[in-house]
Amino acid sequence: MGRVVVHLLAPLAAMLVTAGGAFAQSAPALAPEPVEPPPHSAPWPDLRTGQTEGIRDASYVLGPELVRGQSARAMLVERRRLDAALGALQPQRPGTVDAYVIAVALDSDPVFAREAREAGRVLARRFDAEGRAVTLAGPDGRGGGLPKGSLSALTLALARVAEVMDPAEDVLVLYSTSHGAPQGLAYHDGDTGYGMLSPGRLAMVLGELGIRRRVLLLSACYSGVFVAPLASADSVIVTAAARDRTSFGCQADNDWTYFGDALVNHALRQPQPLGEAARDAQVAIAGWERARGLEPSLPQVSIGTGVGLWLGALEARMPRDATTPVGRPAAGD
């Protein structure tokens, strides 16, 4: 059986990165990761804890994570990949508003890994974050070699970013893509990893780490549940759906979800302000859904009153030339 991991503290990240350096001195070269992602075949386990149904349902707020049956060698390889990626993050530049980008695929369905990989590239370019970006995404059927996305890996990446950034002037840009549920973002790695990242858990981690300036771009069904708990004067939150709506385009063989295609693959490739890009994505998604007779997903946009103080500095360094969308359109040709 596995174990539920409900608490990960920031100091653990530093310990792991330090340990990773020790590993690196004697570790052999990393073996190539298989390009085919693991399939989902086992039933989803009950991640809740507690004596009554009410308590059990409420336990989702802790962000449970269940890991079971993983290969010991694969776990060591994965540990080394994550340590290397986090250890490579460059420190912030005093006097400069630096962005730190994390792009994470929390589900092993390959569409999410493809989306996270390209989102990491687009966002790092847009926000001048080369050397300050990490992508957590497993194999996508075409390539591999990156640390996998998981709740543990994401928490450690956030803790590491908090170590190297200056929270008084720097910004977290988080792009997460996965399936979702009314309780939050679902983590699902084949038949060996399961979890649920609740709005409360993400708010708790960001609060503990002191990451106040943040751009949260969440691609998942029901992702609107994150807006109210995470909204603040220094937060931008853009979600693929309202709290009670599903989003579309997450078929495993796709290159993009609707949200990722509209926001990242098109709108954020253009030299336009983030607010305008989010509105362009809303319009595009609504048009695709209307043309296909789908119930509107109603992507949400929340921009805090203090965001302009630092977002303007970031966008002043934004590339002036657009880049070309890649992959197959999420909504078809």
Chain-centroid distance of CA 70 in Å reads: 22
Is residue 177 a part of any domain in this protein? yes
| Structure token digits, residue 320 | 């002036």
**Are 198 and 62 within 8 A, CB to CB?**
yes
Question: Which residues make Cβ contacts (< 8 Å) with residue 14, sequence separation at least 6?
Answer: 159, 160, 163
Residue 10: predicted pLDDT: 39
**Are 244 and 228 within 8 A, CB to CB?**
no
- CB under 8 Å, gap of 24 or more: what pairs does 25-28 form? 27/80
Residue 36: predicted pLDDT: 87
Residue 333: predicted pLDDT: 58
Task: Provide the terminal-to-terminal Cα distance of the chain, rounded to the nearest Å.
Answer: 45
Sheet containing 184-189: order of strands: 3-4, 65-67, 193-197, 184-189, 180-181
Is residue 327 a part of any domain in this protein? no
Is residue 39 a part of any domain in this protein? no
Sole residue written with tokens 């002036």:
320
Is residue 229 a part of any domain in this protein? yes
Q: What angle do CA 173, 149, 236 make, to 5 degrees?
A: 20
Is residue 50 a part of any domain in this protein? no
Q: What angle do CA 169, 171, 172 make, to 5 degrees?
A: 150
Residue 29: predicted pLDDT: 54
pTM for this predicted structure: 0.90
Question: Which residues make Cβ contacts (< 8 Å) with residue 175, sequence separation at least 6?
Answer: 101, 102, 103, 104, 116, 119, 120, 123, 217, 219, 264
Residue 13: predicted pLDDT: 42
Residue 22: predicted pLDDT: 41
Is residue 99 a part of any domain in this protein? yes
The CATH number of the domain holding residue 204 is 3.40.50.1460
CB atoms within 10 A of CB 83: 24
Ordered DSSP codes for 190-202: TTTEEEEE-HHHH
State phi, psi for 329 to the nearest 5 degrees.
Answer: -60, 140
Strand partners, 196: 186
Is residue 65 a part of any domain in this protein? yes
pLDDT tens for the chain, 333 residues long, are 333 333 333 343 444 444 444 444 444 555 556 688 999 999 999 999 999 999 999 999 999 999 999 999 999 999 999 999 999 999 999 999 999 999 999 999 999 999 999 999 999 999 999 999 999 999 998 888 999 999 999 999 999 999 999 999 999 999 999 999 999 999 999 999 999 999 999 999 999 999 999 999 999 999 999 999 999 999 999 999 999 999 999 999 999 999 999 999 999 999 999 999 999 999 999 999 999 999 999 999 999 999 999 999 999 999 999 999 999 999 985
- Per the structure, the count of domains in the chain is 1
CB atoms within 10 A of CB 30: 13
Domain containing 200 equals 3-32+59-315
Is residue 44 a part of any domain in this protein? no
